A and B are shown apart, each in its own frame.
Chain A
Amino acid sequence: MKAQTGPRPTSSQRHRTLTTSCTAVLILSLVAACGGDDGGGDSQDGGGNPADAEATDEPLQVWVRQAEDGGLPTYQEMADLYEEETGQAIELYGEVTGFEESLIRAASAGNLPDAIIYDTEGLGQLVDWGMVQEIDPDVLENRDEILDLAWTAAQGVDGSYYAVPTSTQAFNLYIRSDWRDNLGLDDPQTWDDVVEIARAFTHDDPDENGEDDTTGYVVPGSSQRGYASWFWITLLWQAGGDYFEPQDDGTFVPTLDTPEAREAMQWLHDMVFDHQVVQPGTANHVTADSHPYFQSGESGLYHTGPYMIAGFDDEPGQDVYDVIEPVTGPAGNDTLAEGEQLYVMTGTDKADQALAFAEWVASPEGQEAGMNPGGYSVVRLPINENVSAGEVYDHPYWDVVAETFAESGRYVTPVPNFGPFRQIVADTVNIVISDPDADIDLLMDDLNEQVAAELDAQGVLAE
């Protein structure tokens, strides 16, 4: 295995303060340095394989953040199909727990795979580490078939492209249509409507069972892995705010002390404590804990992703819920979009093969292979404009999701490393929803300072 015997590139700075230009240099040097190393993808046998030209005989190593009992079999089918058509073998490795940790370990020993399929919001981090290569979208024949919005998530802070989109999704509002009809209400259009409906769902016995056993609004409010902020960011955008504002010089001004951000936080706080329409125990709920509230008929409004449509069709049942457009807040109806994309890893000698595979995954054929109605879909909303989710899934709700993505979908603002921000903000959201007396002004000022400090640590705080 010859761990760490290959020449490792050096960076003259703390990695966290690398500016984007330095990152680019680093990547180039890594490509040069690792090109003659062990090829990065060779993890099976020892003996520091010299790089060789006839690499196509070797399988392309691709890691995906999917489990054997989840999406890995679907990827395996895609890989088999691809090999059948092109002759290029793909060796898949799938892991959910500790995917990032495994990447880091592999990097430490020069064992990175050739490519990974990974979250859109992880892009900044991967680039910052120097683990992924810049790509030229124009080498893809189907570049223009891929949705423009999806391409935005493939861009780093510097505007360069570092990935090829493979899947996306947008968050919608899921509502118990039978409850709504029982109470003679309309679908919500605004924040105020949401309050009104959530109150009615909580207090007016929407399921008509004569018991006070329902709540209006589901919030995954745990700070664990940043769930709380992942939920709240849509509210923030709808209020007209964001975590920070990019400047022309590549730096950022933190903006969580703005009136917009305060309003978004106050609204969520009021939902929990003034209107009391949020499910009990929200402060410890990750999404997996939150879904059952909607599924078991305890709660009637849930802002979540389309990956739950299959589950919600089972319970509470397709005929009793609707997927509707996100509501409009004080400033608009933006909603969170997130997806997955294929990254070509630094040091691979199979970059061309990796891009060829990406091109296929992004093609109508690849997209449809990844959408698995009735099974586990690794492509949720297709990123290819020639593929219709509603048709492939044969489900009208997917059309709503596709429309929402096109009209209101928004990816997080690219920064060198989004993870810490997600966590920092989630901590504050978690405080706000667990403390009835939370001083929101004070908390937001403090939060803004934390965001500023993190921007500074990442070397992109505006003067």
Chain B
Amino acid sequence: MPTIKQRRREPAERAEAPSTPTDSKPAQRRSTLRRALTPWAFLAPALVLFAYFKFYPIGYGIWLSFFDVAVFGENTWIGLDNFTAVFQDTFLQQAFWNTAVYVVLAVGFSALIGFMLALALEGQAYHIRIVRTAVFLPAVVTVAVVAEVFRILYHPTASGPLNSLLGLIGVGPLGFIDDPGMSLHSVIGMHIWKSAPYDMVIFIAGLAGVDRTLYESARVDGASWLQRVRYVTIPQIRFAFTIVITLGIIRGVRVFPEVYTLTGGGPARSSEVIMTYVYRVSFVDFDLGYAAALSTLLFLLTAVLTAAFLFLRREKA
């Protein structure tokens, strides 16, 4: 992203100082060690906390996946049995494909709509701020409560709120979450409603850094609004897309409360995702070893997807 580097504004007043790094060599040599340690000093607080509360517990979780875990008593080492069991688990396979559909649609549309919201609602004007706050509200409401409302919106009779609206244009009534063919998409719909505003906030923060002067020159050049967005805005906030999509994938793969509270995975397992299944293995069957194995696979899947995405972004950028 070469353009962005050159025109980034300086908030500090002393940025005017001439930047000719000439006489810093002795200092460099003296502080080689210090320089090597500096990044680690900055990282130390985070790494200590992660080590205790993330790395160790996660490592332990992965370790457990090689055991038949006794809830109370000694675990039994069973090697890869938990992992080989995955391949015979037809239940899981459906959950896997549902999750894939979920991630693609939910992340894609949330990012798209979030970006459009950001374009429409960035700015400091009073009314814009009010609307922006209103639009952001879905992001702060607990999923379970949102689900309560969507359950009403999705009421499957002709008198249901959404069906009433659709009825005005002669569509429906649809079954929504009551229809095994639509339930997954209905959950995704709720997810987008809740996370598009979330994404919007990140895009707005990103847009704050976009150089307005480039708009002007593009406009002078006769570029249309769409062209300006395409060739001026998007390249400058590509990193915001990276953030939104990376985090979207990570959250999407292990989506749980949205599905659990709205449909519980049903009807007829039509909206079952990996995590609702993991939850069931953990807290209905209490097969903690198998749950750990499923989680480990989920972990690896997410890591590969994320790494692939970040790698592709880097190639492109």
- Evaluate contact between B267 and A224: CB separation under 8 angstroms: no
- Chain A residues contacting B74 (CB-CB under 8 Å) are 8-11
A residues in contact with B180, CB < 8 Å: 434-435
Task: Select one of B157, B260, B267 contacting A283, CB under 8 A.
Answer: B267
Residue B72 is within 8 A (CB to CB) of chain A in the complex = yes
Q: How far is the CA of A430 from the CA of B180 in the complex (A)?
A: 11
Instruction: Indicate if B177 sits at the interface (CB-CB under 8 A).
Output: yes
Q: Which secondary structure characterizes the binding site on chain B?
A: loop
A14 near B68 with CB under 8 A, answer yes
- What residues of chain B lie closer than 8 Å to A423, measured between beta carbons? 280, 284-285
Which residues, 250 to 281 on B, are CB-close (under 8 Å) to A? 260, 262-269, 280
- Contacts A125-B286, A283-B178, A423-B284 known; A11 to B70 CB distance under 8 Å? yes
Residues of B in contact (CB 8 Å), total 30
A207 at the interface (CB under 8 A from B): no
Bound CA span A141–B65, Å:
48
What residues of B have a CB within 8 angstroms of the CB of A10 in the complex? 73-74
B159 to chain A: closest residue by CB: A213
Report whether A281 and B156 are in contact in the complex, using a CB–CB cutoff of 8 Å: yes
Stretch from A99-107, A383-391, A407-415 that touches the partner: A99-107
A2 within 8 Å of B (CB atoms): no
Q: Is A26's beta carbon under 8 Å from chain B?
A: yes
Shortest C-beta distance, B56 to chain A (Å), equals: 13
Are B72 and A284 touching (Cβ within 8 A)?
A: no
Contacts of B72 in A (CB 8 A): 15, 30, 104, 107, 129-131, 346
Mark each residue of chain A from 95 to 131: 1 if its CB lies under 8 Å from any CB of chain B, else 0: 0000011001001000000000000000001000111
Q: How far is the CA of A26 from the CA of B71 in the complex (A)?
A: 13
The answer to whether A224 and B264 touch across the interface, beta carbons within 8 angstroms, is yes
Closest residue of chain B to A347 (Cβ to Cβ) is B72
Contact A101 to B268, CB < 8 A, known contacts A9-B73, A281-B156, A346-B72? no
- Residues from 263 to 294 in A contacting B, C-beta threshold 8 Å: 280-281, 283-284, 286, 289
Beta-carbon nearest neighbor of B288 in chain A: A104
Inter-chain contact A434/B268, CB cutoff 8 Å: yes
Chain A window 1-42, contacts with chain B (Cβ cutoff 8 Å), 1 for yes, 0 for no: 000000011110111100000000010001000000000000
Q: A26 and B286 in contact (CB under 8 A), knowing A14-B68, A281-B156, A435-B268?
A: no
B157 touches A15 (CB 8 A): no
Interface size class of A (residues with CB under 8 A): 35 or more
Minimum CB–CB distance for B61 against chain A, Å: 13
- Cβ of A223 under 8 Å from chain B: yes
Question: Which parts of A377-411 form the interface with B (CB within 8 Å)?
Answer: none
| Most chain B CB neighbours (cut-off 10 Å) among A26, A280, A286 | A280
A224 close to B266 (CB less than 8 A):
yes
Contact with B along A335-371 (1 / 0, CB 8 A): 0000000000010000000000000000000000000
Q: Which residues of A contact B260 (CB under 8 A)?
A: 224
- A15 and B285 CA atoms in complex are apart in Å by 12
Evaluate contact between B76 and A419: CB separation under 8 angstroms.
Answer: no
Number of CB contacts from chain A to chain B under 8 A: 107
Instruction: Check B264–A284 contact: CB distance below 8 A.
Output: yes
Instruction: Chain B residues near A26: list those with CB within 8 A.
Output: 73
B276 (CB) vs chain A CBs: closest residue:
A224
Whether a CB of chain A sits under 8 angstroms from the CB of B132 is no
Given A129-B71, A281-B178, A435-B180, verify A14-B76 contact (CB < 8 Å): yes
Among B68, B70, B151, B280, contact of A284 (Cβ-Cβ < 8 Å): B151
- What distance in Å separates the Cβ of A428 from its nearest Cβ neighbour in chain B? 9
Answer yes or no: A61 CB below 8 A from chain B CBs: no
Q: Are B264 and A223 in contact (CB under 8 A)?
A: yes
The residue in chain B whose Cβ has the minimal distance to the Cβ of A286 is B264
Query: Is residue B155 contacting chain A, with contact meaning CB distance below 8 A?
Result: yes
User: A420–B285 contact, CB under 8 A?
Assistant: yes
A433's nearest neighbour on chain B, judged by CB, is B267
Within 8 A of B (CB), among A414-463: 417, 419-420, 422-423, 427, 430-431, 433-435
With A10-B73, A280-B157 as known contacts, state yes or no: A222 contacts B266, CB within 8 Å: yes
**Which residues in A have their C-beta under 8 angstroms from that of B70?**
11, 14-15, 129
Contact partner of A100 among B156, B264, B283, CB < 8 A? B283
Knowing A125-B286, A434-B178, the reply to whether A15 touches B68 (Cβ < 8 A) is yes
Pair B178/A420 contact, Cβ less than 8 Å: no
Q: Is the CB of B263 within 8 A of A8?
A: no
Residues of B within 8 A of A225 (CB): 264, 284
Q: A281-B156, A284-B178, A427-B269 are in contact. Are A107 and B264 (CB under 8 A)?
A: no
Instruction: Find chain A residues with CB under 8 A from B284 CB.
Output: 225-226, 419-420, 422-423
**Considering the chains assembled together, what is the distance between the CA atoms of A30 and B74 in angstroms?**
12
Q: For residue A224, which residues in chain B have a CB less than 8 angstroms away from its CB?
A: 260, 264-266
CB of A223 within 8 A of CB of B68, answer no
With A26-B73, A289-B151, A435-B180 in contact, do A419 and B266 touch (Cβ < 8 Å)?
A: no
Which B51-97 residues sit within 8 Å CB-CB of chain A? 68, 70-74, 76
Q: A104-B72, A281-B178 are in contact. List 19 more A-B contacts (CB 8 A).
A: A8-B73, A10-B73, A11-B73, A13-B76, A14-B70, A26-B73, A30-B73, A104-B286, A222-B263, A223-B264, A280-B156, A281-B151, A283-B178, A283-B267, A284-B267, A286-B264, A420-B284, A422-B284, A423-B285
Of all A-B residue pairs in the complex, the 9 with the closest CB atoms, nearest first, are A224-B264, A434-B267, A283-B267, A15-B70, A431-B268, A10-B74, A129-B71, A107-B72, A129-B72
Offer 21 A-B interface pairs, CB within 8 angstroms, sorted by A: A10-B73, A11-B70, A100-B286, A101-B283, A104-B71, A104-B72, A129-B72, A130-B72, A131-B72, A222-B263, A224-B266, A226-B284, A280-B157, A281-B155, A283-B178, A283-B266, A283-B267, A284-B266, A419-B284, A423-B284, A435-B268
Binding site for B on A (CB under 8 A): 8-11, 13-16, 26, 30, 100-101, 104, 107, 125, 129-131, 221-226, 280-281, 283-284, 286, 289, 346, 417, 419-420, 422-423, 427, 430-431, 433-435
